[in-house]
Amino acid sequence: MSASESSDATSASPTPKVDKLLQSLVQQIAKPMRLSRADHSPIPDYDLLVEIILTLRKIVNPLVQCEETCADELKLRLQKQLEFAHANLSKQIEIAIARHQEACDEIGTEAVFGEKIPADRIQSISVELTEHYLSLLPEIRDVLVTDVKASYDGDPACKNLEEVILCYPGFTAVSVFRLAHELHKLKVPFIPRMMTEWVHGETGIDIHPGATIGRHFFIDHGTGVVIGETCEIGEHVKIYQGVTLGALSFPKDDNGELVRGTKRHPTLQDNVVIYANATVLGGKTIVGHDSVIGSSVWLTESVDPFTTVVMEKPRLRIRNQVVEEPPIDFQI
């Protein structure tokens, strides 16, 4: 809020309708569970996290030719980017851990690290996690190189490798997923999911950071793709737009609460192709290697390797487009 807006808000009395609305909102929000303590933890900074994502993507960008003309220039650029990522990501991880532990305390669930981390240790642990994570960037880049090659090899419309990096939403989503996945493996709360949800909004491709995806992965077109948390995807897998790799149902315990931490999503072995708008569901569903799942298939059971699954050919009704009667003459 600007200074002028603040001044206007304090000088003008609300109308009866606005005052009633304000009272309703205050009563709704100011409940014991929703009020924050004076020393409560802030939430991660979404806008700053987007800057971190973009910086990390520049570091691991597998462009065939970089913009720098010598190694010293490249080193200087990478040094600045790593310093920015280290300083800001470690702080956001610190904030996320503290906030996550508070949120779990509120509803009585266990935090991702198991035992609660003492407040005086969160900062040092966040720095350690960040340093370990940044050390993984060369490995992430190596895997992204295989994803670029898979995209180029899988799409005859693609003219070169840089076209994949600059133009393909599938590669954008996969690159952010691979960055988020390593943070997820380190049990960093909030941030991995915020990363993949940001790129979900950018591309229309929803990949949970907990999914396991092998090398040489290609999402063609991409819009509407959903890949669930416990999916396991092998190498050289190709999927098209609208594919859902989801859960069949959510089991509940004796208290009616969702059972968490179980495998709910399917497994795709190596060299599987899934065409547009197919749906594969269930944690026990395994698509065997070198199989093809056709468009619009609904699959809830495992299939053996070297299997092709397609819908039965539908009957088409084709209407003659020639107009037999004179068109209606009207004016608007």
CATH code, 66: 1.10.3130.10
Q: Is 282 within a domain? A: yes
Same domain? For 83 and 112 the reply is yes
Same domain? For 71 and 199 the reply is yes
Tokens of 162: 């840089």
Amino acid type, 248: L
Same domain? For 72 and 178 the reply is yes
pLDDT tens, residue by residue, 275-303: 999 999 999 999 999 999 999 999 999 99
Q: Is 63 within a domain? A: yes
Tell me the angle at which helices 119-135 and 71-107 cross, rounded to the nearest 10 degrees: 140
Residue in 126, 140, 127, 138 with CA at minimum distance from that of residue 181: 140
C-alpha–C-alpha distance, residues 311 and 51, integer Å: 44
pLDDT of 254: 77
Same domain? For 181 and 233 the reply is no
CATH code, 246: 2.160.10.10
pLDDT of 36: 55
C-alpha–C-alpha distance, residues 114 and 132, integer Å: 20
Amino acid type, 14: P
Residues in the chain predicted with pLDDT less than 70, given as ranges, are 1-12, 30-39, 64, 321-332
Same domain? For 102 and 185 the reply is yes
Tokens of 255: 């208290």
The total number of structural domains in the chain stands at 2
pLDDT of 1: 47
pLDDT of 7: 47
Contact 176/183 with Cβ under 8 angstroms?
A: no
pLDDT tens, residue by residue, 206-249: 999 999 999 999 999 999 999 999 999 999 999 999 999 999 97
Strand order in the sheet with 286-287: 212-213, 232-233, 267-268, 286-287
Mapped to the 3 state alphabet, what secondary structure does the chain carry?
CCHHHHHHHHHCCCCHHHHHHHHHHHHHHCCCCCCCCCCCCCCCCHHHHHHHHHHHHHHHCCCCCCCCCCHHHHHHHHHHHHHHHHHHHHHHHHHHHHHHHHHHHHHCCCECCECCCCHHHHHHHHHHHHHHHHHCHHHHHHHHHHHHHHHHHHCCCCCCHHHHHHHCHHHHHHHHHHHHHHHHHCCCCCHHHHHHHHHHHHHCCEECCCCEECCCCEECCCCCCEECCCCEECCCCEECCCCEEECCCCCECCCCCECCCCCCCCEECCCCEECCCCEEECCCCEECCCCEECCCCEECCCECCCCEECCCCCCCCCCCCCCCCCCCCCCC
C-alpha–C-alpha distance, residues 175 and 232, integer Å: 17
C-alpha–C-alpha distance, residues 117 and 135, integer Å: 23
pTM: 0.85
Nearest-5° angle of CA 260, CA 261, CA 267? Answer: 120
Beta bridge partners of 293: 274, 309
Contact 275/242 with Cβ under 8 angstroms?
A: no
Q: Is 286 within a domain? A: yes
Q: Which domain holds residue 311?
A: 224-316
Beta bridge partners of 233: 213, 268
Same domain? For 168 and 300 the reply is no
Q: Is 143 within a domain? A: yes
